[in-house]
Structure 1
Amino acid sequence: MKTKIFWGWLFVFFSFVVNAKIFDTFGTKIIIYDSTPEAPVGRMRFQIAEDYIIKYATLTCVQNENVRNCTVNEPDSKYIGNHNLFQLIPERYLAEGDRYNMQEYDGPGYKISIYANRINIYNLFSSNTPDRKDKDVAEFLDKIDQLLAGKSEYQFEPIVMDK
């Protein structure tokens, strides 16, 4: 009997001490866009899901006499495997109902959209956020910066389309 009471109190104690939130990543996507003052949500650069990361082609465009000519610098590519990017998302960006204004903190950089349909989250925030001073936000954005610079540990393979 004393053992049951001890385990009961221990369980109650730990239920107050442990305040861990489990984030279900099923159906969650992170999308990274280019951002400029002219186009606050520009071209998509990455789409990140639970078991893959798609890296979209980079373009170089030149406009001559009302004709815009764009060349692809590299093809779309994909990483299939595990990654820890969802575990690094700061908790404040997973709060339901917190909507970030995409025009906020505009300037050169990128925008990050976090979409999770199971918990009704759709947040869009800028890489220029003053929250970057926060340790959790800085760690997450540093990982995104590495991904954008091509300095991440993920090996991308070109996506081959079947004809």
Structure 2
Amino acid sequence: MFANYSSAFAFKIAPFSLTISSDAVISYSDAPSLTKTMGEDTRSAKRAEKKRKQLLRKQQRAKKFLKSRVGKWLIKRAIKKQERREKRWQRKYERKKKRWLAKGKDITKLKKKQRRGNVRTGVLLLIIGALFFFVLGTLSPFDIIGIIVAALGLFLILLYLLT
């Protein structure tokens, strides 16, 4: 605790003699107070409380905004867009159903196909993986991370192409 105080600290140097001064000798109780170290539990509890309060404030602001005139307008607009999107998909489905019936295909297999992959995300992950592999390739953990990220990107691209 007092490692940075040397034993010479207790001595007062006079011009010609070395004497021990009683006021220069310090006891443990007179030592300068070091900064109080907080326990890790206290820190994490305070941090968690702070984050909880921030989240609560954010939720209150969001509720207040959604109750405002602009918020209500945005909600109505989003609902209308969703309805239009559903109608558009329904029209596409009906057209495809007509074509399938004209060709004599089994329409029980006809359903809206959703693509599970994403080309843009896949290409982005592929590029990031290549950067990790080639640019930071001197360190082996980055090689492994680069290979994994690039493989994930290829997986997303293949999923998109196969579905």
Largest Rg, 1 or 2: 2
Q: TM-score, normalised by structure 1?
A: 0.22
Higher relative contact order, structure no. (Cα contacts within 8 Å, ≥ 6 residues apart) = 1
Higher helix share goes to which structure? 2
TM-score (norm 2): 0.22
